[in-house]
Amino acid sequence: MTVTGETVKSEWVLRAEDLCLGYGRRIILDRVNFELCAGDFAFLLGENGCGKSTLMHALLGDLSIQRGKIHRNKDHASARHVGFVPQRRVFDESLPMTVEEFMDLGLIGLKLSRSQRRSRCAEALELVGLNDVLSMSLSALSGGMRQRVVLARALARRPRLLYLDEPSICLDVASTAGFWRLLRDLHRDRALTILCISHDPWAASKLATQHLTVTDGSILVGPPEDLLAAMER
Amino acid sequence: MWTSFWDSWALFGDAYLTGILCAVMLSMVGVIQVARREVFAGIAAAQAATLGIAVALSISPLDGDHHSQHGLPWLMGIGFAMLGTMVPSLGRRIGETADSICAWVFLLGASFSVLLLAHSPHGLAEVQRLMLSSLIGADRHDVYAFTALTGTCILLVALAHRQIILVASDPESALAVGLPCRRYGLASSAFVGILLGCSIHTAGSLFTFACLVLPPLAAKSICRTTRSMFLVSPLVAAITSFFAFMLADYYDYPPGQLAAALLAAMVLLLRLLVRR
C-alpha cells in the first residue's frame, strides 16, 4: 500500500500504457490506458465485437502488442499468481474428463506433488461449495456446477489476480445469481483483484469497484457512478 | 488362420511390424488432434504429404529401383504434411473456418498429385499406391525408423501429457498458466507433420488417416479421462491392426483398407455399447 496525502492507494497490479491492439493492419483498440490496483473488482464492458476479448487475449499474452506496453506487477500478476476462468463454450464436452483431471490441469507450472495438487483441488472445490465431485465426470455436472468447477480450478492456484471471460454466459438466472454471490464473497474474503468481462449490467452495477468500458476503439475508465454520469452527459 | 499368418511372417513380418508401429504412433498423436477438434486437419495433412511426394517424383522421376530414391519424396512428404497440419491456424488468421481450408488443401492435394504425374507411369503408380494404402513395400529400415518415432511419442506423452492436454483442449487457460501456446502449437504441428509424412510414405494415406482418427474416437467412448486415452487409443489401434493383418492374409484382402474398416466398425460398436 502507498500513502499519498490523506488517501490510501493500493499497490498497482496491472497497468496498460498507450496500448494499441489489433490483428495485422486492423486496429481494434488504440490508446488504451488503465490501471488495476490490488483489491479492485473491475468489469470490462462493451458491445459484442468491440474488443473486450482482444484485450483479454493481450493480457493473457496471446496477442502481440502493436504499440504501448502492459506492465505486470510480478508479485501479483505473474503466471503463478493468475487464475483464469474462460468462457464456457471453449470446452469440448465430448472429451472425457473427470473433475479431478480438469482441476489438475489448472495447476500446471506450480511445482506441486500429486498429493499437494489433490488437496489444493479439494480445498478449492470446498470453497465454491462443491464436495465429493472429484471423481465425477465433468460432462455429468449441471451448467451451474460446471462453472463453479471452472472457478475452483482458477482458485486452486491461489491467485492474486483473477481474469474471468463472460463467466455467467449460458447459465440460468438462479445459477447466475449464485455465481455472482460466490464471486462477491471471494473478492471480499480473499482480497482478490478481479478483471471480469461481462454483459451482465446488474452484476457490473452491484459488484464493480471500477468499470472499463470499451467504446469506439478505446477504453473509458472510472468508478461505476462517475462513468455512468459521464456517459449520460 | 493363425498358422497361415505365422507362415506369411517370414515374407511380410517387416510390413506387419511397421503397420502396427505406425498405428500405435498415429493413434497416440490422434488424441491431440481429437482434443484440438482438428480431426479434419489430419486428412488435409495426409493429402498434402501425397502432393509433396508427387512434386518430388515430378522433379526426380522414378526409375525401376524405387528403394534408391527414398530421400527426396520422403523429405517433400514430411515438408508438405507439416504445412498441412498448420492449415487450421492459418484459416483462423485469414478469417476462414479451419474446415473450409482443410477441404481446400485436401482437394488441391488429391487433384494435383495425380495431374502432376499423369504422364509419368512409374510416378502415377507410386501415387496410386499411396492412395491405396499398401504396406507391402515396408522393410527393416522402416521398422527401425518407426520404432524410434513411436518411442519418441511415448516419451513425450509420458513426460508432458498434462501440458499437451491443456494446450490442445483449452489454449487460453494454457496461456494463463504460463505455457507458451504458440510455440507448443508450432512444435506440435511440425511433429505431427513429420509423423504423417513418414507414415504416408510407407503406409499410404487411408491407413494413416484411419489410425490417426479412429482409435482416439473409439477410446473417447470408453475412457473416463483424456489422459487414459493416450493408453487406450494405441491399444485399440495395435490390437485391431494385428487382427486386420491376420484377416487380410487369410482372406486375401488389402490390409490397409481392412484395418480402416475394422477400426471404423469398432468406433460404431463402442458408441452403441458404451453410454457415458
Give the pLDDT score at B66: 52
Give the pLDDT score at A232: 60
Record: contact A108-B166, CB cut-off 8 A? yes
Q: Select the residue of B37, B173, B225 nearest A84 (Cβ to Cβ).
A: B173
Contacting A residues, span 170-229, partner chain B, CB-CB under 8 Å: none
Record: contact B175-A137, CB cut-off 8 A? no
Let me know if residue A52 belongs to a domain: no
Q: Select the residue of B34, B170, B225 nearest A98 (Cβ to Cβ).
A: B225
3-state secondary structure of B185: helix
Cα separation values, B5 from A107, B1, B9, B125, Å: 49, 6, 6, 28
Record: contact A60-B177, CB cut-off 8 A? no
Q: Strands A193-197 and A161-165: what pairing?
A: parallel
Let me know if residue B276 belongs to a domain: no
Give the pLDDT score at A77: 85
Record: contact B176-A79, CB cut-off 8 A? yes
pLDDT per residue over B166-188, tens digit each?
A: 999 998 899 999 898 888 888 88
Let me know if residue B167 belongs to a domain: yes
Grid coordinates in use for B59? 522433379
Q: Select the residue of B171, B172, B178 nearest A79 (Cβ to Cβ).
A: B178
- Chain B contact residues (CB < 8 Å to A): 34-35, 37, 93, 162-163, 165-166, 169-179, 181-182, 220, 223-229, 276
Give the pLDDT score at B132: 67
Record: contact B177-A106, CB cut-off 8 A? yes
Distance from CA of B148 to the nearest CA of A (A): 28
Q: Select the residue of B34, B93, B176 nearest A60 (Cβ to Cβ).
A: B176
Q: Select the residue of A95, A101, A139 nearest B35 (Cβ to Cβ).
A: A95
Distance from CA of A48 to the nearest CA of B (A): 17
Q: Which of A108, A121, A135 to mutate to test the interface with B (most CBs of B within 10 A)?
A: A108
Record: contact A90-B37, CB cut-off 8 A? no
Please state, in angstroms and rounded to a whole number, the distance separating the CA atoms of residues A126 and B228: 26
- The CATH number given to whatever domain includes residue B57 is 1.10.3470.10
Q: Select the residue of A62, A82, A105 nearest B165 (Cβ to Cβ).
A: A105
Contact (CB, 8 A) for B43 and B85: no
Whose CA is closest to B137, among B12, B48, B7, B8? B12
Count of CB atoms situated within 10 Å of the CB of A223: 12
Range of the domain at A145: 92-159
Q: Is A23 on the interface with B (CB under 8 A)?
A: yes
Q: How many domains are there within chain B? A: 1
Q: How many domains are there within chain A? A: 1
Chain B: residue whose CA lies nearest to A100: B225
Record: contact B35-A94, CB cut-off 8 A? no
Record: contact A86-B173, CB cut-off 8 A? yes
Give the pLDDT score at B276: 59
Contact (CB, 8 A) for A86 and A165: yes
Q: In this structure, what DSSP letter does residue A221 have?
A: E
pTM for this entry: 0.85
- Count of pairs with CB atoms under 8 A, one residue in A, one in B: 79
Concatenated DSSP letters of B107-169:
HHHHHHHHHHTTT-HHHHHHHHHHHHT--TT--HHHHHHHHHHHHHHHHHHHHHHHHHHHHHH
Let me know if residue B53 belongs to a domain: yes
Whose CA is closest to B130, among B113, B145, B146? B113
Q: Select the residue of B176, B182, B225 nearest A96 (Cβ to Cβ).
A: B225
Let me know if residue B168 belongs to a domain: yes
Range of the domain at B153: 2-270
3-state secondary structure of B236: helix
Record: contact B172-A86, CB cut-off 8 A? yes
Let me know if residue B97 belongs to a domain: yes
Grid coordinates in use for A66? 502493436
Which portions of chain A are predicted below pLDDT 70?
1-9, 88-90, 223-233
Record: contact A104-B162, CB cut-off 8 A? yes
Let me know if residue A102 belongs to a domain: yes
- Please state the φ and ψ torsions of residue A29, each to the nearest 5 degrees: -130, 140
pLDDT averaged over 10-residue windows placed end to end, chain B, 276 residues? 84 90 96 88 85 86 56 84 79 73 88 87 74 72 93 96 93 90 85 87 87 95 95 96 93 90 94 79
| B214: Cα separation from own chain's centroid | 11
Let me know if residue B206 belongs to a domain: yes
Q: Which of B172, B179, B228, B276 to mutate to test the interface with A (most CBs of A within 10 A)?
A: B172
Residues of B with Cβ-Cβ distance to A62 under 8 angstroms: 171-172, 175, 181-182
